[in-house]
Amino acid sequence: MFRSHRIIHSILPVVAGLVLLVGTVPAQDFRDLHRTALVVDGHNDVLGRVMSGGDMESWGSVGHSDLPRFRAGGIDVQLFSIWVPSKRKGNEAWQYALDEIDSLKAIAARNASVMGIALRGGDIERLVADRKLASVIALEGGRCIDGRRDRIIELYRRGLRCFGLTWNFSSDWATCSQDERAGKVRGGLSKKGKSFVRLLDSLGVLIDVSHLGARSFADVIATTRSPIIASHSGCAALRDHHRNLTDTQLRAIAAGGGVAMMTYVPSFIFAGLDKKKQDRMRAYERQAAELRKNHPDRGAAYLKAYDNMLASARKERLCTIDDVVRHVLHAVNVAGAAHVGLGSDFDGIGLTPVGLHDVTDLPLLTRALRNSGLTDEQIRGILGGNFLRVWNTVVKHGSDG
Ligand SMILES: [Zn+2]
């Protein structure tokens, strides 16, 4: 009796796992769906806090993320942005980028039981199976390489696996969306820029087109042979902002097999964000923090209070989690569900949509996506399955970094 009971117990999780894998029975609850899905975030700036002396290893009240909160939010894979402040120039910018990469590696080494750096195809699955946060070193803005090919190779050796060609500054080889929109530059990749794209392809580094100008974007599409990502952008058809992707760009990303990862940046996903609305959204941030404190279990009472808060923010016509869902749905309609993902920009933004205040709110985004009518299979792809496909296509070889 005892023995057969044990057998049933050991078989049950396997059967449950198989049922989930074949997708014949929907997950019972949004939390089940979130927990069993691979959850990837395309862009996080918490390393900026680390570089100015802050902490990301213990649960804190500052910012939007840290290691314990990544876990609580069910994040399995995080692309960590290596971003250099604009006042750092020349060699100082280069050194800053290297220091930032070393900081992330030191944090990973100190916390080896809960995180690891993903360097090769297959690494994400291996790290996630070990219940570790798979961490991808991702450069935001190629200005720090100072136009030098050898520096791309050096970054690769140090573990860089995603390269955002520009931030809000153009270089002599790639132009950013801000400068192209303002008509400050002719726009496009130079011959050198195209050769860099080919180099990234051959190394097996993801190319990130968020922040890129339209002409540079088109040159990337014409040059690369790999699927690309936009790590943190919205849809220009819903909000005409230079950082967002047009429908043509969404289709081009999909045609190449890539993923457009929808961001939570309020000014990109919501029009008319005046001072009054921003003040009101800050008040909701405080209210949400109180709710989380009062309901650490995040159970039924929390959800009820959360829904009431959201209903009230909707009445005030503020930027909410609904706007993130709106951009996801538009991208799904234009590019197809297999080519959409999520890229928060947490810890890179001063203001968050109401209802999506830090990484621990991620299960609630899964809930909102489910309520929008997307299927569980589509949501699994958007949460991370689509990114994993691109990663395993592009990052084939890898080194130890
Ligand atoms: Zn950015």
User: Is residue 302, in this structure, part of any structural domain at all?
Assistant: no
Query: Has residue 332 been placed in a domain?
Result: yes
pLDDT reported for residue 19:
43
Q: How far is the CA of 345 from the centre of ligand 1 (A)?
A: 7
Question: Does residue 329 form part of some domain?
Answer: yes
- Expressed in angstroms and rounded, the spacing between residue 211 Cα and the centre of ligand 1 is 7
The answer to whether position 291 is within a domain reads no
| 152-to-157, 165, 204, 216, 395 alpha-carbon distances in Å | 9, 11, 12, 18, 15
Domain that holds residue 260: 38-272+322-349+374-394
CA of 267 to the centre of ligand 1 (A): 12
Distance of CA 13 from the midpoint of ligand 1 (Å)? 41
Q: Give the pLDDT confidence score for residue 400 in this predicted structure.
A: 59
pLDDT value of position 60? 84
Mean pLDDT over the full length of the chain:
93
CB 257, CB 192: distance < 8 Å: no
How far is the centre of ligand 1, averaged over its atoms, from the C-alpha of 14 (Å)? Answer: 41
Closest CA to 366 of 312, 313, 328: 328
pLDDT attached to residue 399: 62
* Count of domains forming the chain: 1
What pLDDT, in 10s, does the model give residues 74-101? 999 999 999 999 999 999 999 999 999 9
Residues in the chain with pLDDT < 70? 1-28, 398-401
Give the pLDDT of residue 11: 43
- Cα of 140 from ligand 1 centre, angstroms: 7
**What pLDDT, on a 0 to 100 scale, did the predictor assign at position 1?**
36
Cα 167 to averaged position of ligand 1 atoms, centre (Å):
6
| 134 Cα to the center of ligand 1, angstroms | 21
Please report whether residue 357 resides in a domain: no
**Residue 245 domain-assigned (yes or no):** yes
Return the C-alpha torsion angle 260, 266, 271, 272, nearest 10: -170
The one-letter amino acid at 395: V
| Domain harbouring 102, CATH code | 3.20.20.140
Residue 235 lies in a domain: yes
Instruction: Give distance in angstroms: CA of 68 to centre of ligand 1.
Output: 24
95 located within any domain: yes
